[in-house]
Structure 1
């Protein structure tokens, strides 16, 4: 009986995986919309504090379950990774969201894969073959198109937002290597909670100093809460669930979908235009990501 039901169960799981991957991309894509809505009311630092704290608390039960694997001597390392992989990139994306359309940050975030390859080459002795070199050139060409093009904001503001998004993607690339080399073997979702909560503690003094003097409206609070609970805490949980079930390589396909969802959400819900420079930049960056992943495998 069990053997007869096994194919049906397997097919159902495949269908679930096929739905969960685009669902994760949609959740991470809409995070840029939430930042665009909430950042002007909160400011970058206060918004990031809310995001980190709520995201870390969602995953806190997983950290508590694995607490024996997190001795006190490990926490300075967790705090450093939290700053590099969460606090500063989140703040950079939020800062950019005050100045440029949500789609700009979503497209720039795809550079994470390329920066991870560059960081691996520069600091960890990893090789870059011809395809990855071409991928990096294509990606940086896309960044140039994105920064130079008129994309729903003033040229200077868009350029600075692209720079902030690329700096955030670079830090994500550094964070990937740090987690892999220094936190490997620990439960990934528990690590995510520990780094988020550590980052929240690090950011707290600056966030309190920059807390908005005027009351924050319900719309901005809702966007901030969804950014923390849905786009950070629950999204991380879904990400690690997918990694466990279908592997890191297949889960990384989400990289291709996040910019598409980010731009689509901003167009659908905020009425932000999809400009020719945004489309060209996205195509160049995603082509670079595709080339980089082909060489990696």
Structure 2
């Protein structure tokens, strides 16, 4: 990978590793609808001018059904669940729980028509990743945070499902205009609830900074960088950064919010990361020439190398 590719890779790992920290800060000062509305509105305002010059926005009208479904599953529903869950859960735990998205993606793809057999390695990865989730979620479940844990796992399921819509229904839709339209739609959906729950007084500077960071840095800038990374290294290699995001989320939570770094957190991170790598590994290919070199690449709903398989998470 080129030096530019490594720089973009490192930048993406940070840009989509710190939203959990900012959500944790912001949700303490504003309602969930306000948080999601501000984030999506800022992101749309920044990305729309970048998407307009290509003249591709009118083409999206014939894809309005899958676009609406993608916006709902990738942004509208999960971003509300994520913010609501972080009212109770730490940002580091949230980031780690979302690391199970690649594992869920394998299961969802299998249930919706993926003909590729899982095999022993990928099946073991699913089991290992699930063990990591159970270790991480157990304290929260015992402490009564069942709803919050379930919300984050639903977010992970959304992030695992949305790429299938892109791969099967939106392969010819350019990424930047699609993202801008989806953010606009999400902002419109949340506008009434945001107005109804708008704070009576200006939130603290810390909350305002977190909201601005979510919209400008973690949404608009992140998508621009992500598309650049896709162009530089291709979809499959670009998606490897999703394995680094949880570490960034944990580090940010521990260093900036004083969240605890316990042995179960470290153990669960290792299990979830290892399980994700195993579960998303491709089966070995044996060319006719006799070479047995394996091709192990992430398979998180990947599409063509010219555009991203999803807008988040990756979320986040």
Q: Structure 2 length as normaliser, TM-score?
A: 0.83
In the other structure, the counterpart of 2:106 is: 117
Query: Does residue 184 in structure 1 map to residue 171 in structure 2?
Result: yes
Q: Which of 59, 77, 80 lines up with 1:70 in the alignment?
A: 59
The Cα offsets for residues 90-140 of structure 1, whole Å up to 9 and x where unpaired, read as 111111211111101111121121111111111234434122222222222
In the other structure, the counterpart of 2:282 is: 295
Query: Does residue 284 in structure 1 map to residue 290 in structure 2?
Result: no
Paired with 1:233 and 1:244, the residues of 2 have a C-alpha distance of 17
SS in 2 for 1:42: coil
- Deviation for aligned residue 1:35: 0.4
Query: Does residue 167 in structure 1 map to residue 154 in structure 2?
Result: yes
Query: Does residue 267 in structure 1 map to residue 254 in structure 2?
Result: yes
**8 Å CA contact retained: 1:149, 1:277:** no
- Structure 1 residues 141 and 14 mapped into 2: Cα distance closer, same or farther (>3 Å)? same
**8 Å CA contact retained: 1:116, 1:173:** yes
Paired with 1:229 and 1:172, the residues of 2 have a C-alpha distance of 21
Paired with 2:195 and 2:159, the residues of 1 have a C-alpha distance of 25
**8 Å CA contact retained: 2:5, 2:229:** yes
**8 Å CA contact retained: 2:103, 2:280:** no
- Deviation for aligned residue 1:285: 1.0
Q: Which of 226, 231, 240 lines up with 1:239 in the alignment?
A: 226
Name stretches of at least 5 consecutive residues in structure 1 with no aligned partner.
1-12
In the other structure, the counterpart of 1:20 is: 8
- Deviation for aligned residue 1:61: 2.3
**8 Å CA contact retained: 2:20, 2:95:** yes
SS in 2 for 1:186: coil
- Deviation for aligned residue 1:83: 1.3
Query: Does residue 257 in structure 1 map to residue 244 in structure 2?
Result: yes
Query: RMSD of the alignment, in Å?
Result: 2.0
Q: Aligned residue pairs: how many?
A: 282
**8 Å CA contact retained: 2:66, 2:165:** no
Q: Which of 197, 205, 216 lines up with 1:210 in the alignment?
A: 197
In the other structure, the counterpart of 1:107 is: 96
Paired with 2:79 and 2:176, the residues of 1 have a C-alpha distance of 18
- Deviation for aligned residue 1:295: 2.5
In the other structure, the counterpart of 1:94 is: 83
In the other structure, the counterpart of 2:216 is: 229
Paired with 1:137 and 1:143, the residues of 2 have a C-alpha distance of 10
Query: Runs in 1 of length 4+ with deviation above 6 angstroms?
Result: none
In the other structure, the counterpart of 2:72 is: 83
Paired with 2:203 and 2:253, the residues of 1 have a C-alpha distance of 22
Paired with 2:131 and 2:236, the residues of 1 have a C-alpha distance of 25
For structure 1, which segment, 172-181 or 13-22, has the greater mean C-alpha deviation from structure 2 after superposition? 13-22
**8 Å CA contact retained: 2:31, 2:197:** yes
In the other structure, the counterpart of 2:308 is: none
SS in 2 for 1:253: helix
